[in-house]
Amino acid sequence: MDLSQALEIVSHTDPGMVRSNNEDSVASLAEKGLAVLADGMGGYNAGEVASGMATTVLTTELRQLLEEHAPHEVDPQSGKKAAQKMLQEQVAKVNTSIYQAAQSQPQYAGMGTTLVVVLFYDNKMMAAHIGDSRLYRMRGGEFSQVTKDHSLLQEQIDAGMLTKEQAKHSSNKNLVTRALGIDPAVEPEIHEYDTLPGDIYLLCSDGLSDMVSDDDIGMALQALGANLELAAQQLVQMANDNGGRDNVSVILIKILREFPAGHGLASKLFGWFR
């Protein structure tokens, strides 16, 4: 199913005002309803390698799998939707690739990356994330954070040690408790959400969320949501205007119309004979 008529996807990435190289990586396939954002970490250029591996491998492998399997179909053995199974298995594969490269090549020792990946199908979105890159949603004028950071700061907030206001001024902002490629295995957090026409989804690295408040991000999307390209550029500009201390990357996805999957007999027959 080609989703390019149902979804508009725009991405923008920038090194920021302080760093010379960009360790963020973004990729999307509108026709497959797929978008991936990764924020790399590690020594000289290693973060760039880790995030690049994550976005390249995931888009390549998922493109192939989505040619062969309908994401809304349920796997009879696991009881999971194909979308969830695909994301889990491919994230595990990428984790192994990055981990092995880091183990075998001294210049890549300790490299890893955060990850947010979303897959749209059948008026739904499956989202997987690891680390502190985020997914937000603008719906009917209401802007909200969808993912919950895997970070020391978030754990301190959850434990009642810090308020959200105090967390904004913490020095522990960039300590993630989960990352791709650091350990032999990692568990992505995966959830499914219903989508509505008019929704705008934002994937971003912490270069945006650390530099620009949620309120200001929401206001920018509210004002510029009719022009996604302009909205993406504006968000990056706002991060840079506020200091741009990190690489900043955004992917914006607007739901233009409904995109139900074919559940009828014809589509089942087509699935069997393909």
Q: Find the CATH number of the domain harbouring 62.
A: 3.60.40.10
- Cα–Cα distance measured from residue 112 to residue 178, given in angstroms and rounded to the nearest whole number: 10
Distance CA 119, CA 260 (A): 14
Could you tell me if residue 1 is inside a domain?
no
Q: What are phi and psi of 240, to 5 degrees?
A: -70, -40
Mean predicted confidence (pLDDT) in 185-196: 98
Q: Is the dihedral of CA 114, 191, 213, 201 positive or negative?
A: positive
How far is 212 from 216, CA to CA, in rounded Å?
6
pTM greater than 0.85: yes
Domain count, the chain: 1
**Does residue 46 lie in a domain region?**
yes
43: which 2 tokens?
């020594």
The stretch 207-236 carries a mean pLDDT of 97
What average pLDDT is seen over the chain? 93
146 found inside a domain: yes
pLDDT tens readout for residues 64-122: 999 999 999 998 888 899 999 999 999 999 999 999 999 999 999 999 999 999 999 99
Q: Is 274 helix (H, G, I), strand (E, B) or coil?
A: coil
Query: Is 272 contained in some domain?
Result: no
Share of the chain above pLDDT 70, in %: 95
Domain of residue 117 covers 7-261
pLDDT above 50 (res 272)? no
The per-residue pLDDT for 271 is: 43
Whether residue 181 lies inside any domain: the answer is yes
Q: Which amino acid, 12? A: H
CB 129 within 8 A of CB 154: no
In a domain, 2, yes or no: no
Residue-level length of the chain: 274
State which amino acid sits at residue 44.
Answer: Y
Instruction: List C-alpha distances in Å: 101 to 6, 17, 66, 92, 258.
Output: 38, 30, 27, 14, 41
Q: In sequence order, what DSSP letters do the residues of 133-184 get, joined into one string?
A: -EEEEEETTEEEE-S---BHHHHHHHTTSS-HHHHTT-TTTT-BS--BTSSS
171 located within any domain: yes
Contact 115, 54 (CB under 8 A): yes
Q: Kindly state whether residue 95 falls inside one of the protein's structural domains.
A: yes
